[in-house]
Amino acid sequence: MDGEDPEGDPVLRKHSLQVTDLRGIMPRAVEELFKAIEAKTKPTQGAPQERGPQEGGPQEGGSGGPGSPGGPRRGGGEEGVEVQLTATLVEIYNERIRDLLDPSRGPLAVREAPSGQTVVADATEAPLVCYEQAMQ
């Protein structure tokens, strides 16, 4: 129970991603990331653009082409800008690393990539298309 209404009845509030004051750091960071990508990939006037699901374009599982779910976003914001996002979601608990996108997998290991980056080896990567999909 979150409180009472003026008549004294209990009130339960449903928290939503739309209530910006209640979101944590990850939803805010992901939103800012997609805003920055949108600014960089926004098509210039006259540039062809595929429309997304909200605009009557390809639905999820579409062609995989530019601007479609699962494909790179392209636009005229900057010449040659193409963006593809993926995410991994892991839990580190009691020195064990677990893949939250594929919980059936065994414990994962941390390794150093040839580039020098520290990575979680073999963690599942999921493509990110939009903020709403990333928050599911």
Ranking 6-10, 47-51, 109-113, 122-126 by mean pLDDT, the lowest is 47-51
Query: Reduced to 3 states, what is the DSSP secondary structure of residue 47?
Result: coil
Q: Is a pLDDT exceeding 90 seen at residue 127? A: yes
pLDDT one-digit tens code per residue, 82-108:
888 999 999 999 999 999 999 999 899
> In the structure, what pLDDT confidence band is assigned to residue 54 with cuts at 50, 70 and 90?
very low
Rg for the chain, CA atoms, rounded: 20
Give yes or no for residue 125 having a pLDDT over 80.
yes
User: CB–CB of 111/119 below 8 Å?
Assistant: yes
Residue 104 CA neighbour count, 13 Å, CB half = 0
pLDDT at 115 over 60: yes
- pLDDT at position 70 is 46
Nearest of 35, 50, 42 to residue 78 by alpha carbon: 42
> What token pair was written down for 74?
């392209």
Mean pLDDT, rounded, for 47-51: 46
Mean pLDDT of 117-121: 92
Instruction: For 15-43, write each residue's pLDDT tens digit.
Output: 455 566 788 898 999 999 999 998 888 76
The yes-or-no verdict on residue 64 having pLDDT over 70 is no
Domain ranges of the chain: 1-83, 85-136
The pLDDT, as a whole number, for residue 106 is: 87
